[in-house]
A and B are shown apart, each in its own frame.
Chain A
Amino acid sequence: MNEAFFDKKDYKPLDRVDGRLKVTGAAKYSAEYALPNMAYAVLIGSRIAKGTIKSIDSKAAERAPDVLAVISYVNAIKVPGYQPKGKHPSEPSTQGQPLRVFFDNKIVSNDQPIVAVVATSFEKARHAATLVKIQYNKEQHMTDLEANAAKAVLPASGKKNPKSPTADYDRGEKNAFESAPVKFEAEYVLPTEVHNPMELQSITAHWEADDKLTVYDKVQGTKMTQKNFAKEWNLPEENVKCIATFVGGAFGNGLHNWPHETAAIIAAKQVKRPVKLVLTREQMFTMVGYRPRTWQKIQVGATKDGKLVAINHHSVGQTSSYEEFTESTLQQTRMMYASPNVSTRYRILPLNLATPIWMRGPGEATGAFALESAMDEVAHEIGMDPIDFRLANYTESDPDKNMPWSTKYMRECYEEGKKRIGWENRKLKPGSLRDGEWLVGYGMGTGTFGANRNAATVHAELDSDGNLVMHCAITDIGPGTGTAMVQIASNTTGLPTEKITFHLGNSTFPNAGLQGGSSTVNSVGPAVLAACNALKEQLITMAAGKGNAAFTSAKPDDLMFDKTEIQLGGKSAKLTLGDLLKQNNIDKIETTNESKPDENRNKYSMNAFSMHFAMVHVHPFTGQVRVKKIVCCADAGTIVSPKTAASQMIGGATGGIGMALTEDAMMDHRFGRYITKDLADYHVPVHADVPEIDVYFVNKPDLLADPVGSKGLGEIAIIGVAPAIANAVFNATGKRIRELPITPDKLI
């Protein structure tokens, strides 16, 4: 680790290293690899939510021009990895049996993919798909969460292991709430939300040989995808290649390999041509996961002067009938505030829906809506400023794990955020402020997410001209991974950023985990650091070996480049990279280095923290809410790449605006079908919804968490935003909306 890295706070924020490719349209996403002889597949989804397929009449479709195949369970080739019983051989990122596409005639959710039509053009495939006639045996389905909440169950992980995050949790006295001087209880509902990245989920599947598969796939893990499909097709891992150089957003929906991917691979095998499959926007709602609708009940007991006595938090979320999806909805309730008594109960309800998948700030964002709204409600009830109330219950160590924090700088966030939003203008009494006709309100919410770290490996090569090229299998779904890694390498070596390249998104590159759970910079960053230091060590050894005395006792931290000149301790050592390599008869040096979590993880509770402040206008007669300003404060450790990091916070806040005000995948339970399932009906925020967003980073490294000192940003960027807005709406109007989104109808 090089201290200089963290001291260089004045370094010029780097423009996105792939910016030029993105602004010129040259960046290639998974449906943009034009392979010779390519065919196009279109998926047909079931029109019932539960039952069996009675018959499939595909004659007309097969006769349609240039149709190559109509594939269903009736005629699909055997997938070697499909087992008649027991576990799917792929490694599901959720527990249970992932849907085996074209396996049998069972329907377990509406719009489940049941037929693929493959033709020589997209237009022909789409048309032929309308000619397939499918009949069903319908069975009674169950899709309604609240109506069936009583049937919710403790997840298997919680049953098996009482220490599991999903297990029932009790700290202190179970009944403490009952005797608290101030008792508050409320229910909150978060609707189903859908990731809806702008790029439609796509895959181009290419069998380069009978036993050699390449997929250009929209995923958050190239290695995960390689492993899963190797198992599914009974192939050695090296025979499966996953390319995801550019991923057009994902927000979690690429953390699982989905049935449509296998469908395209089957189709490619069956028609013996590369097959491109792009989901429709409707299919993005039903085939690639979603944030599960979640009902929560929270009880908060406090003293009249604002000390928490007890928090009881109960949540029920959706899952599918075949996979057990869980998320950390209740985690922060256990550790965010210094409540001596805390009980949490996490339940899931299997429904005739497809499996959910983690969506940005997964359970934490859901849980934070209830917890942070409730904190605001209690503060209001006891007549306290909600920030003072939170500060009165600030935790100096993790009360759940009973460990010290590795770092926690939330006090800085409170101070800075208050200043920037203009908290002093806030009135304790709701409905007190106006700007013309509009009511004005201020609110805030906090968030936290584990500073996750996985093992990661980076290969690095340095040539005599000072070009540093690195490779790693990690993906970049948008945060600017390449940019951050180039910055780390530059700060570590002194090499100019334009001489550094970071290749990613390819399973043939060295190992990395998923791009999820805010773990990328914390995991891959240290591997970049390690690789850079290893290169330096090689140079030191070489230099010392060639009689450069100054190098004999040098450490990697001592060595920095000034262009191609090698410097020790800032002093020129009269050594150029080219000369040194030449003396050693090589034209480049290379290294492969792994970095992984260390034992500090057993001694400290490591978390990133955020705090969001919102100022809103609410029209008293039309119920329209306009967010006028958001301030995001983050204690995320080292901020490696200030420009892209700020964009990530702005993006999270924008997602939070959607969560708070607009997003709602509504389902008509009579049919078990979504009725808001495209971007006209499912409202994600547009330009006009998003104000100036002010970002503040504490920017203090957490070197216990990882050698880069980063704690992760992606999740905390959204966690706490929705309650901040809901709290601001309450402050403006006196109306407390406990079921999101806060649409005009709920406020008039």
Chain B
Amino acid sequence: MIQFQYERVTTAKAAISGLANNSNARFIAGGTNLVDLMKRNVTAPTKLVDINMVPLKDIQQQNGKTSIGALALNSAVADNKLIIEKHPLLSQALNAGASAQIRNMATVGGNMMQRTRCPYFYDTALPCNKREPGSGCGALQGLNRMHAIFGTSDKCIAVHPSDMCIALVALDASVVVAGPKGERRIPFEEFHRLPGNQPEKDNTLQNNEMIISVEIPDNAFNKNAHYMKVRDRASYAFALVSVAAALHMDGKVIKEARLAMGGVAHKPWRLKEAEQALAGKPATEETFRQAAKIAMQGAKAFKYNAFKLKLGPNVIVEALKNAAGLV
């Protein structure tokens, strides 16, 4: 880890100007991903702007939406009464990620900014276009058991590792970001990007922008929501496949559905067509199976992750069954 400049700021404005004129400066909040990557020399910022003192931790309900400050801790959000009541899907997803200690450090903004866990990205002796553009994708012909089945490119097949983001994309959240020219809103689905020819870019945040908050519009999904994560051990592991499922029920009929998958793409993978297929249907295993089939259209497996083509729809069905109270 190189010696870097360290600056502590107390306002978003100071934070943003702290990044000015240095493309190799980074914000640090929880540090749970950044410090890890710095130790392994995957990334080496020359300046860290500590934004922990910026007052962006509030969770509040107003104007038909729930606003969560970018610096709210993952644990604070997961345990927040308002969130548990109005957006249990988010609380469940947060608690499915990392460990209690990490959730006590990691912030909402930092969670969104976390990099992939692809082992080729982490090992500087191996090729990785995300870490070193042009060096090749080690996973493409390598051990790609954990890798993407949707939206891959021949440059990168890594997956986005967050659980929280899967719930947020399902809940139609939007991201409020601030830059030198003021604030803008990015629909959550457009915040993260697919690798394409620029796998080094994880998201659409500009270099000098800062995440201020995440907003979730009010919804009627709080009664029937379930986050299901299948992983290689019972806890504290990244997803093989995860599914955020939320239903707005009208008796036994699904009025509206929200569905997203984790562990399958370079971004949180929203399943809108499957959602549409669920709307207006009875909440039965058969309905869910049909929706899962639609959800998997366009999936493409590699040598070691073909199991996701089967596990994916199974987890969708199981998550929906749980959401609908069929289990």
Contact = CB atoms under 8 A, between A and B. Distances in A.
Q: Do chains A and B touch in the complex (CB under 8 A)?
A: yes
Interface of A: 47, 123, 126-127, 130, 436-437, 619, 621-624, 626, 661-662, 666, 668, 670-671, 673, 675-677, 680-681, 683, 685-689, 741, 743-745, 748
B143 A675 contact: yes
A688 B231 CA distance: 12
Interface string B293-327: 00000000000000100110011011000000001
B123 A127 contact: no
Q: Do most interface residues of chain A lie in helix, strand or loop, or is the interface mixed?
A: loop
A743 B314 contact: no
A683 B232 contact: yes
Interface residues of B, number: 35
B41 A624 contact: no
B126 A671 contact: yes
A436 B120 CA distance: 40
B230 A623 contact: yes
Contact of A683 (B143, B233, B314): B233
B1 A126 contact: yes
A622 B315 contact: yes
B82 interface: no
Contacts of A130: 2, 41
Given A126-B1, A437-B327, A680-B117, A745 B143 contact: no
Given A127-B2, A670-B141, A745-B240, A662 B119 contact: no
Contact of B327 (A436, A661, A681): A436
17 contacts: A47-B125, A127-B1, A127-B2, A130-B41, A621-B315, A622-B228, A622-B314, A666-B143, A670-B141, A670-B142, A683-B233, A686-B235, A743-B232, A744-B231, A745-B240, A748-B307, A748-B311
A127 B2 CA distance: 6
A662 B230 contact: no
B230 A668 contact: no
A668 B138 contact: yes
Contacts of B327: 436-437
B142 A621 contact: no
Contact of A744 (B41, B143, B228, B232): B232
Given A127-B3, A689-B233, 12 more contacts: A619-B318, A621-B314, A623-B311, A673-B123, A675-B126, A681-B117, A683-B237, A685-B233, A686-B234, A688-B233, A744-B231, A744-B232
A675 B119 contact: yes
A65 B212 CA distance: 38
B221 interface: no
A744 B235 contact: no
B306 to A, nearest CB: 9
Interface in B7-43: 39, 41
B120 A675 contact: yes
B193 interface: no
B6 interface: no
Contacts of B3: 127
A743 B231 CA distance: 8
Nearest to B327: A437
A688 B234 contact: yes
Nearest to B138: A668
B162 to A, nearest CB: 14
A676 B234 contact: no
A748 B232 CA distance: 13
A670 B137 CA distance: 13
A645 to B, nearest CB: 27
Contacts of A437: 327
A472 to B, nearest CB: 38
A25 B311 CA distance: 44
B201 interface: no
Given A436-B327, A661-B233, A745-B145, A676 B240 contact: no
Contacts of A123: 1
Contacts of B39: 126
Given A668-B142, A675-B120, A748-B307, A662 B125 contact: no
B234 A626 contact: yes
Contact of A676 (B119, B141, B228): B119
Which of B142, B232, B327 has the most A CB atoms < 10 Å from its CB?
Answer: B232
A662 B311 contact: no
A544 to B, nearest CB: 64
B238 interface: yes
Contacts of A686: 233-236
A126 B236 CA distance: 28
A673 B314 CA distance: 33
Contacts of A623: 230, 311
Interface in B211-251: 228, 230-238, 240
Nearest to A624: B230
A745 B310 CA distance: 9
Nearest to B2: A127
Contacts of A680: 117, 237-238
A687 B1 contact: no
A668 B233 contact: no
B311 A744 contact: yes
Contacts of B117: 680-681
B166 to A, nearest CB: 16
Interface in B167-212: none
Interface string B252-282: 0000000000000000000000000000000
Interface in B36-56: 39, 41
B73 to A, nearest CB: 21
A47 B236 CA distance: 29
Contacts of B138: 668, 671
Contacts of B232: 662, 683, 741, 743-744
